[in-house]
Structure 1
Amino acid sequence: MSMILASQSASRKAMLEAAGVPFEARAGHVDEGAIKRELIGVPPGDIALILAEAKALAVSVGAPGRLVLGGDSLVEVCGRLFDKPVSRENAAEHLAFFSGNEMRLHSAAVLMRDGQCVWRHVECARLKVRSLSDSFIQSYLHREWPAVSGCVGVFRMEALGAQLFEAVEGSHFTVLGMPLLALLGALRDLGELEA
């Protein structure tokens, strides 16, 4: 029996497929905005875990006995949290704000079975955004929009998003949106993958 990924994230699906983890994807519908409004002042890594757990729970209740993976990523720049851009103009505003600053990307994963959390983990990667000119931002969005519309941080590291940064500290998988190595360890510990 394969695991359920409570997400339609192309990046998370690609990571699991590449790592040879059998899964099926089902979106875990939760009102992220409402949850975040209740979590003012909570550290970003904890918010990412709470959102990942909410997504896993939304799917787990309808999948008895199945292992469900929920994930979430949050971008923090200068103490401010950023959601996915709502428009191309909003994406340009985000990129202008990120310019020259450090981005902290918090990626969380939660495994749940029968509505009970069996494992949770969050990692943080630090990405130094280079100084971005207005003309670069516009040409970048001309080439990457709408592909980055569903990406917190307005980038796909596996594409032109690499051009936004001058340095990255942390796991490549965390930057892509999931603490994959820790997850694989948990799946082995739970007997879901061969040890």
Structure 2
Amino acid sequence: MTHLWLPERPLILASGSPTRRHLLEAAGLEVEVMVPNLDERRVEAEAGPLTPVDLARRLALAKALAVAATAGDRIVLAADQVLACEGEVFHKSSSLDAARDQLSRLSNRMHSLHSAAALIVPGREPELIHDDAHLTIRDLGSVDIDTYLAIAGLHRVTGTVGGYQLEGLGIHLFSRIEGSHATILGLPLTGLLDRLRRHGCLAF
């Protein structure tokens, strides 16, 4: 039987994101999850002023290095995503009220999702890949936002930056979407697969 993933052992995904794992497995990769023990906000604070793209890359690299330190000769992948609107970086909301505030501020404005991946292949320098997507949330009134939050629920709106899951109810919030679906979900997949192909990890 021919397999797409050629290395003897699965790719280590340094992320607890089920969405990223699903994207990789749907693309035919064999994946094993190892969640890094990392304080992302501390990494961000210690990094100092960075552009949103550089912040996403820094966080992805920190995750990959944290797992690679105990992964031996395994290939390690980590990823991160930063949402920025007019220069301001947004983080996951901690409550429905915080999500309501975020959506109010993003309403009728375009924001960018900067998705970065860090790939560590033993014997090589870490490689960074990133891709951007641009999304415009339609003009939402307070009733629209409250209705969305009530239907989506606490878990969904606090589990993602911006308070939405584009692959679910969040799709109703948008008037325009530009960018790769995988990038929007948090993984620059096309660029990543190209790198893995160059390293001889894929059958074609």
Please indicate, yes or no, whether the TM-score normalized by the shorter chain is above 0.5: yes
Q: 1:161 to 1:12 in 2, by over 3 A?
A: same
Amino acid at match of 1:21: L
Residue of structure 1 in register with 2:198 after alignment: 189
What's the secondary structure of 2:126's corresponding residue? strand
After TM superposition, where is structure 1 displaced by more than 3 Å over at least 4 residues in a row?
Answer: 113-118
Is 1:88 the counterpart of 2:96 in the alignment?
A: yes
Q: TM-score, normalised by structure 1?
A: 0.95
Q: 1:94 to 1:116 in 2, by over 3 A?
A: farther
Is 1:110 the counterpart of 2:107 in the alignment?
A: no
What's the secondary structure of 2:116's corresponding residue? strand
Is 1:148 the counterpart of 2:160 in the alignment?
A: no
Q: Deviations over 1:132-163 (max 9, x none)?
A: 11111111111222123221121111101111
What's the secondary structure of 1:158's corresponding residue? coil
Q: 1:126 to 1:60 in 2, by over 3 A?
A: same
Please give the alpha-carbon distance, in whole angstroms, between the structure 2 residues aligned to 1:158 and 1:13.
15
> Please, what is the CA RMSD of the aligned residues?
1.4
Larger Rg: 2
Please give the alpha-carbon distance, in whole angstroms, between the structure 1 residues aligned to 2:15 and 2:183.
16
Per-residue deviation at 1:6?
0.4
Q: Deviations over 1:46-79 (max 9, x none)?
A: 1100000000111111110001101000000121
Count of aligned positions: 195
Segment drifting more, 153-162 vs 62-71:
153-162
Q: 1:91 to 1:117 in 2, by over 3 A?
A: farther
Residue of structure 1 in register with 2:3 after alignment: none
Asked if the contact 2:130–2:191 (Cα under 8 Å) also holds between the matched residues in 1, the reply is no
Asked if the contact 1:60–1:115 (Cα under 8 Å) also holds between the matched residues in 2, the reply is no
Counterparts of 1:27-176 in structure 2 under 5 Å? 27-114=35-122, 117-145=125-153, 146-176=155-185
Amino acid at match of 2:47: L
Amino acid at match of 2:161: V
Per-residue deviation at 1:40?
3.9
Q: 1:117 to 1:11 in 2, by over 3 A?
A: farther
Q: 1:25 to 1:72 in 2, by over 3 A?
A: same
Q: TM-score, normalised by structure 2?
A: 0.91
Give ranges in structure 1 of 5+ residues lacking alignment.
none
Per-residue deviation at 1:115?
9.0
Please give the alpha-carbon distance, in whole angstroms, between the structure 2 residues aligned to 1:118 and 1:189.
14
Per-residue deviation at 1:116?
5.8
Asked if the contact 2:96–2:157 (Cα under 8 Å) also holds between the matched residues in 1, the reply is no
Please give the alpha-carbon distance, in whole angstroms, between the structure 1 residues aligned to 2:179 and 2:93.
24
What's the secondary structure of 1:34's corresponding residue? helix
What's the secondary structure of 2:190's corresponding residue? helix
What's the secondary structure of 1:38's corresponding residue? helix
